[in-house]
Structure formats: C-alpha cells, structure tokens
Amino acid sequence: MQTDKNTVIGMVLLAVLFFAYIYFSNEQNAAIQAKEKHDKDSIQSVIQAQMKLKDNSALNKELLKRDTLDKLTAAGDFTTAALGKEELTILENDVIKVTFSNKGGAVKSVELKNYKSSFNGKPVILGGDSSDKISYLINTGNNSSNAVSNLYFPTPTIEKASDNTQTINFTIAAKNGQSLTHQYLVKPNSYAIDWNINMNGADRLLSNGNLNFNWNWRTTQNEKSNLYERQMSNICFSEDNQFDYISSHKEHTFEKPAQWVGVVQQFFNTTLIAKNGFASGGVKWERSTEKDTTNTLATIETQLQLKVPATASVSVPLQLYFGPNDYAILKKQENGMDNIINLGRDVYSFVRPVNKYVIMPVFTFFAKLIGSFGWAILLLTLFIRLFTAPLMYGSYLSGAKMKVLRPELDVLKKKHGEDQQAFAMDQMKLFREAGVNPMGGCIPALLQIPIFFALYSFFNSNISLRGQSFLWSHDLSSYDVIAQLPFSIPMGFGDHISLFTITAVLTSFAISLYNMGNTPTQDNPAMKYMPYIFPFMMLFFFNRLPSALTWYYTVSNTVTLLLQFVIQTYIIDHDKILAKMKETRSKPKTKSKWQERYAQVMETQKKVESMKNKTSK
C-alpha cells in the first residue's frame, strides 16, 4: 500500500496526541491517588491525635491528682494554703513600684522608677524571674515540712498610715491555731522595704529555733556592655560587722554572724538584711560566660540561718533593699553598706580616703555649680592639676635641666660608641657636676598614681554619671561609640571605636614625643619605641572604659602638655639653669652614697670586662 507524505504526517501527529493523552491521564490519576492518600493519612493522623489526646488527658488528670495529693500532704495542717492561683498586688512610692505575690507572700519584683535600662530602654527591674525567690522551711505537721514559697496566702490586707507608709500583710493559718504572717512596710521615698515575719506557734513551726533561708536570685543586664557590667558585679556582705565581698571566688561560708548579704551589679543591688543578724550560712554564685547569649549576669544561691527564740509568738525583723549603688543613699542604710560602692578595695584601698574626702566632694560641688557632669570633670581635672602643680614643677625643672644637658650627652654618646659602661660613668659624672638628679622628675610623677587609681574607681562606680550625655558621648558611665565594627577585636578592644579613647591615646602619645625630645638619643630599642608602645597598649585597655574616665585622661594630658610647654618656654630660664650648672661644676665635688656605690659597681664591671678581653686575646 502506497502512502503519500500527508498521510504519514497525519499518522505521526495522531500517535503523538495518543501518547500525550495517555501520559497526562496517568499524571492526573496519580495526582488524584496522591490526594486521596494524603486525605486518608490526614484523617488517620487526626484520629490518632485525638486518641493520644484522650490518653494524655487521662494521664494528665492522674498526674494532676497525684500532684494535688503531694501538695496537700506537704501542706499538712496548712491545707487551705496548699492549692491556689498566683495573684499579684502592687504598692509604690516615689522611687519604686513593688510587685508582691500571694505565692509565698513575697516580693516578686521591684521597678526603679528613676532609672532606665541602657540595654533596652525599659525601666530597671530587679527580680521577676521564676527562679528569683527568698524562702524558708516550716513544719506543717508531725512528719511534714514545706517551703513557704510553695504556699498560697489569701488576699492580703493593705493599710496606709498618716505618713504615707503602706503596710501589706499576708497571713496563713493552720487547723491547730498556728499562723504565719509576712508583713511588709513600704515607706515614702525609700528603696528599703521592711519585712517582718510574725509567727504564732514558732516553737512548733521551726525545728530547734532555726529559721533556714534559701535565697535564689538571677541578675540581668541593665548597662550597654554585658561583659563590662558582669566584670563589675560581685557579692557583698557584712560578716561580724566587717565589710567583705566575693569577686573571683564562687562561694563563701560565713564563719561568724552575718548582718547582710547583697547581690551587686555595676550600679544597682539587691540586699537582704537581718536586723538581729544571721547566725551562719554561705553563698554560692557564678558569673555567666561570654558564650551565654541571654542577658544574664550571674546566678546566686544563698543559705542563711537565723536563730529564733523557742517561744509561741515570735517576730523576726528583716529588710530588703532594691535600689541604686548611690553612696549618699547606702550610707543611710545598714552599717557598712556604703562600702558596696567601690571607691578603692584590696591593694587599692589606700585611694578610698582620697575619693571620699577629696574627689567626691569636689566633683559634687562642681556638678551642682554648673549642672553639666562633663564640664564638672574638666573642672575636677584642673583642680587636681592645680593641687599637684608644686610636685610636678620639680619634674618639669628636671626635664629642663636634661634638655640643657642633651648636647653634651650626645657628644659623650658619640665618643664612647657602643661602650655603654664608659658612657654611663661619664654620664653620671656629668650629672654630678651639673647638680642634676636624673630621677628628680620620677618621684613627683609616681605620686600621681594614687590619683589615677582613685579616679578609675570613682568613675566606674559613680551612678550620677549614668545616662549623662556630653559632647558625642550619650552616657558618661559607659564607653562612647563613633564607629560600630562588624566584628570584635580581641585583647579587650571590643566591637566598637571610642573617640574619647582615641583622644586620650593621641594626647598621651604627644606627651611621650615631647618628653623624648628633651632626653638624650636612645639606642635601646625598648626605650626608643616606648612612646609608641604605651599609647598602643592604652588603646586596647581604654576602649571599654567609661567615657568619663577617658575624657578626664584627655583633659589631664592636654593640661600636662600645655603646662610643660609654657613652663619650659616662658617660665624656666634655660640660661640661668646653664649658668647655675657651670657654677656647680666649679665647686668641690662630693659624691652621694648612691653615686659612690654606682661608681664602684661600674668600675668593677669595667675591670671584669677588661679581664675578659685580655683572656680572649
């Protein structure tokens, strides 16, 4: 059979259409079957979930029943307090807003009205985490005991006195007549909350008259830098009426009675105070690590024991402080609490009197006088420089004399070349003839070290600087930021650049260069590159420091540089110094004991070197 071209094309097209129809039909059937399977599986999943929910519901009911029985058993004679729902009550005064919980009859959290978190801009809140609680055990029956934090107190009563003191009472009663009352007094304009524990039947509620507290607490970030705030945090306490603290150690056991224990952050603290003292106990704490991605600073667990008279009715006076680390406020609290402010501790304790009696009063005066903390720091710096000017003048005079001697010292250096011993002996001879003490400028400079350590402590702990802006710094209590880096530089530099740190480093570098210009040429690499090394190290150390401190350092360096230039250029007469040095040279020379010993040592070394040279030949 013959077929033409059109017939062949038609048959091919029909075949293509046929196979396409079969393909799309199969795809459609497969999609329908997949949907039917999905619907079937979904229905089955719902059925299984419902069955599981029924099973879990039954299980939950059983667990709830057991939990209820356990709570009722632990509550013993206080069955009415075994079960309940947490209810919150808020009392406030001018400075704090206190949230009380009926669960445990306790303070749940405290908001500080006058302070905002630099971390998130919200009001500073101390406490509030589910783990934050102060509790103690009571005997609830013959063979049962329970933590007070597990008991639900009825709706509290609130009273307000004529002086605006607010009193809130949480009371639970037992079947046999025992009762327990937590009474809190919130006084006007006060960060302290009086807490009285009143027990009726204390001889049965407590074993051997021991009131055993368990205080768990977690501190959270309130400042810009989690790392720096964590480093500034610690545990402070008064043991045997002596202040002490824990910083690097993780625990402490009280060997003598303790009066109070405080959980301290950089600018805030929460402190538990026993008016009659804690007989014994201990505290454990742990700082969070850099790997912690939460805003937690530290976690604290404290056990404290109070001795209570074995009588029917007992009142235990306590106090809770939730507030700022403000020296004036803490000074009025319990004895020794003002030491929470770190104005100098341990090896730096010698600067505390400088801060208390000089730096703090002067700074406060200037701050009130002009109303700007930044300019108050500048005036404080000028005051300090004026106070130390007589000491520093000797340093400047010594520098001027060294500048006059520099040409002669350079000649000696060229004369002796690499013979350092010969140069040292002639140099000492030149100093003696000219009446110059090369160390004359060091002692006055060393006397300024306590001032620097005093200011370092003062600016780190001064809460009045918190949130105060000045120039480009938004908060003088923290570092300023002119550039945020997309990465973090190690060795303490961080992920930002502080402009006040840059100005402090540059002015320090300028002073080093100026001083090097007045001293003989140095061949010793360590001395030659010191003007570069020290400012470079400062850059890493200062970048995380409060801008108040780096601003002070900038001003202090600028004043130093100006004073050196003015004194050396316009006040000190170099011709007079040179004439006096010539006059001193013409007088009979007497060596000091130190110069004699130094000359003997150099002569001995020269002889030893000469003998070595002869032996080697």
* Residue pLDDT, tens place only, 160-191: 999 999 999 999 988 888 888 999 999 999 99
Predicted local confidence at residue 540, as pLDDT: 80
Select the more confidently predicted residue: 606 or 226. Answer: 226
Tell me the three-class secondary structure of 103-152, residue by residue: ECCEEEEEEEEEEECCCCCCEEEEECCCCCEEEEEEECCCCCEEEHHHCE
List of residues 6+ apart from 547 with CB closer than 8 A: 470, 473, 475, 476, 478, 479, 480, 498, 500
Is 348 part of a structural domain of the chain? no
- Position 2 in a domain: no
> Within this chain, do residues 332 and 374 fall inside the same structural domain, yes or no?
no
Based on the fold, state whether residues 102 and 235 are members of the same structural domain.
Answer: yes
Instruction: Please report the pLDDT score of residue 361 as a whole number.
Output: 93
437 belongs to a structural domain:
yes
pLDDT of residue 523: 55
> Which pLDDT does position 109 carry in this prediction?
93
Q: Which DSSP state fits 233?
A: -
Q: What is the mean pLDDT of the chain?
A: 80
- Are 372 and 489 within one domain? yes
For residues 111 and 244, membership in a common domain is answered with yes
Residues 400-426: what's their mean pLDDT? 74
| From 127-141, 285-299, 378-392, 470-484, the region with the lowest mean pLDDT | 285-299
Q: Which of 141-150, 161-170, 472-481, 512-521 has the lowest mean pLDDT?
A: 512-521
Same domain, 557 and 616: no
* Span 212-230, average pLDDT: 87
The amino acid at 520? P
Stated length of the chain: 617
Q: How confident is the model at residue 2 (pLDDT cuts 50, 70, 90)?
A: very low
pLDDT for 59:
47
Are 290 and 221 a contacting pair, CB within 8 Å?
A: no
Residues 410 and 539 in one domain: yes
Nearest CA among 54, 128, 117 for reference residue 86: 128
| CATH number reported for the structural domain that contains residue 259 in this entry | 2.70.98.90
Q: What percent of the chain has pLDDT over 70?
A: 73
Domain presence at residue 69: no
One domain for residues 564 and 613: no
**Do 323 and 369 have their domain in common?**
no
d(CA 232, CA 228): 6
Range with the lowest mean pLDDT among 394-398, 541-545, 563-567? 394-398
| Residue 369 within any structural domain of the chain | yes
Query: What average pLDDT does the segment 34-58 reach?
Result: 54
> How far is Cα 238 from Cα 261, in angstroms, rounded to an integer?
7
Cα-based distances in Å from 460 to 14, 110, 332, 463: 90, 24, 22, 8
CA distance 9 to 13: 6
141: in domain: yes
Whether the per-residue pLDDT at 280 is higher than 80: the answer is: yes
Mean pLDDT of 248-277: 91
Looking at the fold, whether 260 and 301 belong to one and the same domain comes out as yes
Give the mean model confidence (pLDDT) for residues 285-291: 78
Q: Is the pLDDT of residue 612 over 70?
A: no
Looking at the structure, tell me whether residues 318 and 379 fall in a common domain: no
- Domain span at residue 98? 83-341
Task: Say what the pLDDT of residue 448 is.
Answer: 67
Beta-strand pair 210-220/133-139: antiparallel
Whether residue 201 lies inside any domain: the answer is yes
Residue 433 has pLDDT above 70, yes or no: no
pLDDT at 53: 46
Place of tokens 């075994």: 82
Residue 389's pLDDT band, with cuts at 50, 70 and 90, is confident
Does 610 or 359 have the greater pLDDT score?
A: 359
- Looking at residue 132, its pLDDT comes to 84
* 368 and 483, same domain (yes or no): yes
Task: Check pLDDT > 80 for residue 364.
Answer: yes
Query: What mean pLDDT do residues 524-545 have?
Result: 71
Total number of domains constituting the chain: 3
Please, which pLDDT band fits residue 269 given cuts at 50, 70 and 90? very high
What residues does 335 pair with on adjacent strands? none
> By percentage, how much of the chain surpasses pLDDT 90?
31
Q: Which two tokens stand for residue 425?
A: 């002996």
Of 187 and 574, more confident: 187
Q: Where do the H-state alpha helices sit in 222-326?
A: 226-232
Question: Is residue 561 one of the residues assigned to a domain?
Answer: yes
pLDDT confidence of 295, banded at 50, 70, 90? Answer: confident
Interval 84-92 mean pLDDT: 91
290 and 435 belong to one structural domain: no
